[in-house]
Amino acid sequence: GFAPLLFLSFILGCAARPFYPLPSKISNQNRQPMQTSRPYNIAHRGSNGEIPEETAAAYMRAIEEGADFIETDILSSKDGVLICFHDVILDLTTDVANHKEFANRKRTYNLQGFNVTGFFTAKTDKIFFIHAVDFTLKELKKLRVKQRYNFRDQQHNGKFSIITFEEFISIALDAPRVVGIYPEIKNPVLINQHVKWPNGKRFEDKFVETLKKYGYKGSYMSKDWLEKPIFIQSFAPTSLVYISNLTNSPKIFLIDDVTMPTQDTNQSYWEITSDPYLDYIKEYVVGIGPWKDTVVPVKNNYLQPPTDLVARAHARDLQVHPYTYRNENMFLHLDFHQDPYVEYDYWLNKIGVDGLFTDFTGSLHNFQEWTSPLSQKDGDNASKLVDKIALLISSYRKG
């Protein structure tokens, strides 16, 4: 397993900072290369089906369970430090409400036309929540992360802190095999409005500078890329176009529900998924990351006929990495009969996608090892198991 003693120390809540050695000291010479022969297992916010999202422990667990890539959302603190956190508000996945010293930080900001109130990571306009952009890194480190969903394991709530982008990178580079990273430029319009860096630099500049600091470079499947695999993702097309002048690392354009507007250009995703737009964006990206219901519409929780989005993307040599796959029945369409493996089979073998964002890394890894194992020995064992199951079913039917 991956650093079991260190992982255990996280679970027990006794780890100290800094967690990891500097990535620059780590060599790939003796590490197993990342597989590229089957669709990618993308650990969505780490193994967050088990452990609170975007924490060091969630990412370490995902690596242990077989993730090809660990995925994260990058925001910024008030003082310009890039952090791993999904929401612009802190309320839903941290214990900020328990910190009396931050009670006066609740704000209301406007995000994409909606008023949101809470504790923000960075300062925004018109939403009454506590937001991360209103907090320095030192203040954010005082908070502890909790599970987003109350129907998932709650035992790890309050044990882990928010991590920085650099700490996240260190986790991947310190793994015993080559593990890719899949960071998102999250809410760039908001961050650029409310966080200021010296010399007029933008959020995207700091993002790319961090990647270059740790040696991430190279086009898809190049020698440099295979040594340190990365996909850069964003819902904001202008950010992807902007950083194309800063790095040749491969980029993925995320696609939301077709009725939603983009945060930066205010285009609908109907337009974004059109042939003319795919022809335009393919000059800057190597793939798309669509919400899975955009690929296969759903009505009354039943699948409808698939769209031709995957075929049109593949015709332009664009990869397709849909999101998000979750084991719980409430997230599974009725066609899959409460079985996440049936869902994986549908998307990998019928729809033919090139990677999946999953909250349950271990489940996807097990499915792929059973159905498309990487080693011949595992393949032989899987084949024998399938034969045994077929024989058992046959004898049951005869009986």
Look up residue 21 and give its amino acid: P
- Backbone φ and ψ of 202, nearest 5°: -100, 165
pLDDT tens digits, one per residue of 291-332: 999 999 999 999 999 999 999 999 999 999 999 999 999 999
Residue 219 has pLDDT above 60, yes or no: yes
Is 193 a residue whose pLDDT tops 50?
yes
Whether the predicted pLDDT of 254 surpasses 70: yes
Q: Which domains does the chain have, with CATH numbers?
A: 4-86+155-374 (3.20.20.190)
Helix axes 165-173, 56-64, angle to 10 degrees: 20
pLDDT at 280: 98
pLDDT of residue 121: 61
* Residue 30 confidence (pLDDT): 83
Q: Is the pLDDT of residue 376 over 70?
A: no
Higher-confidence residue: 386 or 193? 193
Is-above-0.85 flag for pTM? Answer: yes
Q: What is the pLDDT of residue 107?
A: 74
Please give the pLDDT value at position 118.
62
Cβ proximity of 347 and 8 under 8 Å = no
Count the neighbouring beta carbons within 10 Å of the beta carbon of residue 182. 25
Are the C-beta atoms of 236 and 263 separated by less than 8 Å?
A: yes
**pLDDT band, very low/low/confident/very high, at 127 (cuts 50, 70, 90):** very low
Q: Which of 17-31, 52-66, 121-135, 208-222 has the lowest mean pLDDT?
A: 17-31
User: Which residues are registered as beta bridge partners of 232?
Assistant: 251
Overall average pLDDT of the 340-365 stretch: 98
Q: Which two tokens stand for residue 244?
A: 């194309």
Over 70: is that where the pLDDT of 114 sits?
no
Share of residues in the chain with pLDDT > 90 (%): 77
pLDDT, one tens digit per residue, over 30-74 is: 899 999 999 999 999 999 999 999 999 999 999 999 999 999 999
Mean pLDDT of the chain: 89
**For residue 320, what are its two tokens?**
């397709």
For residue 55, which of 70, 36, 77 has the smallest C-alpha distance? 70
